[in-house]
């Protein structure tokens, strides 16, 4: 499994801890995030993660910023991306089960670090239920 991860300045410490956690499990991680706390523009780090997921060079993506809203909005501009804001384990599981999310967006300013790691584990270990949910997923993309 390969995970692409990206973050802005609010998510640097979380990205480092999540990357360490994932690599300790033998998961390959592609780092597209900043490694400092200096202010940056989150879209610069979102697009490479989304591109990896769309091109299937990564299994999933993880994005981290202060609220997770900006990174989710940016990622969801990409066709084939279903990025969900995940702030609890339960929301994360539903995001995978019902929405087949392929990018997990974590709000660093509203989750504890250990909670963020639990969110990542829930995201990676929860399967999409399919069935009636697949019909809804099929209606998400629009043609222009």
Rounded to whole angstroms, the Cα distance separating 56 from 108 reads: 26
Q: Which residue has the tokens 């019909």?
A: 135
Active site residues: 65, 98
pLDDT of 57: 98
What pTM value is reported for the model?
0.95
pLDDT of 130: 87
Residue 8 CB: number of other CB atoms within 10 A? 26
Strand partners, 85: 105
**116: phi then psi, degrees, rounded to nearest 5:** -65, -40
pLDDT of 144: 58
pLDDT of 81: 97
- What are the residue boundaries of the structural domains of the chain, listed by start? 2-138
Residue in 127, 135, 79 with CA at minimum distance from that of residue 100: 127
Mean pLDDT by 10 residues, the chain (144 residues): 97 98 98 96 97 98 97 96 97 97 98 98 96 90 70
Helix H or strand E encompassing 105: strand 103-107
The DSSP-derived string for 13-82 is HHHHHHHHHHHHTT-EEEE-S-SSSS---THHHHHHHHHHHHTTSSSEEEEEESSSHHHHHHHTTSTT--
pLDDT of 139: 87
CATH number, domain 2-138: 3.40.1400.10
pLDDT of 142: 76
Strand order across the 60-65 sheet: 28-31, 2-7, 60-65, 103-107, 83-85
pLDDT of 143: 66
């Amino acid at each position: 499994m390969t995970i692409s991860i990206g973050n802005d300045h609010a998510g640097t410490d979380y990205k480092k801890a999540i990357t360490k956690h994932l690599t300790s499990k033998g998961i390959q991680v592609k780092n597209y995030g900043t490694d400092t706390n200096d202010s940056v523009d989150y879209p610069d780090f979102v697009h490479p993660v989304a591109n990896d997921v769309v091109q299937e060079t990564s299994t999933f993506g993880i994005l981290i910023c202060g609220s997770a809203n900006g990174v989710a909005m940016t990622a969801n501009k990409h066709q084939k991306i279903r990025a969900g804001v995940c702030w609890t384990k339960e929301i994360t599981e539903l995001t995978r089960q019902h929405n087949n999310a392929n990018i997990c967006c974590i709000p660093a300013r509203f989750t504890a670090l250990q909670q963020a790691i639990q969110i990542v584990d829930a995201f990676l270990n929860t399967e999409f239920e399919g069935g009636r949910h697949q019909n809804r997923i099929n209606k998400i993309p629009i043609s222009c």
